[in-house]
Structure 1
Amino acid sequence: MNILVVDDEQSILDIIHAYLTAQGHTVYLATNGKQALQLFNDNSVDFIVLDIMLPDVSGWEICENIRRTSSVPIILLTARSNEKDVLKGLQLGADDYIKKPFSPKELLARIATVNRRVSRDDEIKQEKWVFNKGNLIIYPDRMEVNAYGSKIVLTHTEFDLLLIMASNPKHVFSREQLLEKVKGLEATALDRVIDSHIKNLRAKIEENPRKPLYIETVHGAGYRFGVTHEKNTV
């Protein structure tokens, strides 16, 4: 796997590079945002590990830039303990985050968790799910979504959340259940992580995110997919 690692601390880059290459990965290293975007555009990158604080542009800006055209998995590195800073990155499309300091083993485990989700998406048989008279079409096998005639770019986390709920219409999922299903881990992260991804998802697929048709909030309980399949075609 080709992994782009972006951090302005050379010592961190050296440690991550040594550990990931020992696991058989090809690793591209960048110490600033401009270099990171150049490496991403010039190479086939399968995964990005991105520090929020960089000397030229922030990791948030890089994440937002990449998300305009790509759903490549992104894990943020952050030394910040402020919940708002973490949520900002997730709202811009990051799939996960790790707080510094962290061990290389933890990073590798997080990468593997995200990739299991990607592999699971690839294994789903070819079909399309149609909702709301064709205004929402989900292609599980291709990780593609069309909403109101436009192709929508979703992150892996956003797509997994949509797939989980759309495959069980009207079923209410708690935040803890969604976090566990998406990450494959115990729900130890912030509850608002799920809220942040849901907000992003609504902004992308709903005609009016303030009055969602597809992803409904069930107050005190969680979320549910509000419409049923019209047809599934293989």
Structure 2
Amino acid sequence: MSHHILVVDDDPHIRDLLTFALAKAGMQVSEAADGEAALAAISLQAPDLMVLDINMPRLNGLDLCRKLRGSALPHADLPILFLSSRDDEIDRIVGIEVGGDDYVVKPFSPREVVARVGAILKRQGSGMAAPSQRAPLAHHRLSLDPEAWEARWDGTSVATTATEFQLLLLLASMPSKVFSRDAIIDRLHGPGFAVTDRTIDSHVRNLRAKFAPLGGDDLIETRAGIGYRIGACA
């Protein structure tokens, strides 16, 4: 079965360009011209992933992402690839911090968008991890179920994005190892992907903020000048 991708952008030329490229890659594509139309489309038939422009009229991309992530609906964890019209690190970091999985800066290559969509879907699919990583994993109070894409802290479920879950799974699978940001990027996206260190920092901040109210302040430990590892008591 082909994946269903929702392309949301107020520029019809960009929608046509991405629809053609994604369809050529074997994906089913639907379109929306603004955030409100996207929200309506998602409620009718939730896609497998949304390519979402940040700057749009009638509910911009960041606000749409916040609305989805803040809901208790089944599509709250819908993977999101942001399109940013400016090569502005603040825009990109904010996009990740509100719950985006990845971003592409305009102007972009359609092939890059297809590659990033494929990478996110692969992380979320059953073949994204080694067999040992697909088995449930427990580390002190943290438990991860890769088959259900569910993270729990002391038995309480915590909603995570596909990228956040994969980051947790990577760190918890080797609890004694400290991962550099570059190593994390290579594991999550593959070598050569243009992702900044700040993006990884944003995913870590998001995870800490989600687990802190449950007592998971020590979820991820920072090793200054080196990188990150799973917390000793996580």
Same fold (TM over 0.5): yes
- Provide the secondary structure at the position in 1 that maps to 2:6: strand
Partner in structure 2 of residue 225 of structure 1: 230
Give the partner amino acid of 1:25. Answer: M
- Provide the secondary structure at the position in 2 that maps to 1:45: coil
Partner in structure 2 of residue 96 of structure 1: 102
- Please give the alpha-carbon distance, in whole angstroms, between the structure 2 residues aligned to 1:146 and 1:223: 20
1:103-155 CA deviation, whole Å, 9 max, x = no partner? 211111111111221223577466433333xx322112211011244211111
- Please give the alpha-carbon distance, in whole angstroms, between the structure 1 residues aligned to 2:35 and 2:25: 26
Partner in structure 2 of residue 212 of structure 1: 217
User: Could you tell me whether the CA contact under 8 Å between 2:218 and 2:233 is conserved in 1?
Assistant: no
1:17-39 CA deviation, whole Å, 9 max, x = no partner? 22222333221111111100000
- Provide the secondary structure at the position in 1 that maps to 2:64: helix
Partner in structure 1 of residue 15 of structure 2: 13
- Please give the alpha-carbon distance, in whole angstroms, between the structure 2 residues aligned to 1:155 and 1:123: 20
CA shift for structure 1 position 177: 0.5
Q: Is structure 2 residue 73 aligned with structure 1 residue 71?
A: no
Q: TM-score under structure 2 normalisation? A: 0.88
Which range moved further: 20-29 or 108-117?
20-29
- Provide the secondary structure at the position in 1 that maps to 2:222: strand
Instruction: List alignment gaps of at least 5 residues for structure 2.
Output: none
User: Could you tell me whether the CA contact under 8 Å between 1:5 and 1:13 is conserved in 2?
Assistant: yes
Change (3 A) 1:214 1:33: same
- Please give the alpha-carbon distance, in whole angstroms, between the structure 2 residues aligned to 1:101 and 1:113: 20
Q: TM-score under structure 1 normalisation? A: 0.88
For residues 196-211 of structure 1, the aligned pairs below 5 Å read 196-207=202-213
Instruction: List alignment gaps of at least 5 residues for structure 1.
Output: 230-234
Choose between structure 1 and 2 for higher RCO, CA contacts under 8 A separated by at least 6 residues.
1
- Please give the alpha-carbon distance, in whole angstroms, between the structure 2 residues aligned to 1:184 and 1:162: 17
- Provide the secondary structure at the position in 2 that maps to 1:206: helix
Give the partner amino acid of 1:218. Answer: R
Which range moved further: 116-125 or 79-88?
116-125
Q: Is structure 2 residue 43 aligned with structure 1 residue 37?
A: no
- Please give the alpha-carbon distance, in whole angstroms, between the structure 1 residues aligned to 2:131 and 2:160: 17
CA shift for structure 1 position 191: 1.0
Q: Let me know the Cα RMSD of the aligned residues.
A: 2.1
For residues 1-234 of structure 1, the aligned pairs below 5 Å read 1-68=3-70, 69=73, 70-119=76-125, 120-121=127-128, 124=131, 127-132=135-140, 135-186=141-192, 188-207=194-213, 212-227=217-232
Change (3 A) 1:123 1:4: farther
Change (3 A) 1:207 1:66: closer
CA shift for structure 1 position 206: 3.3
Sequence identity, in percent?
A: 36
- Provide the secondary structure at the position in 1 that maps to 2:77: coil
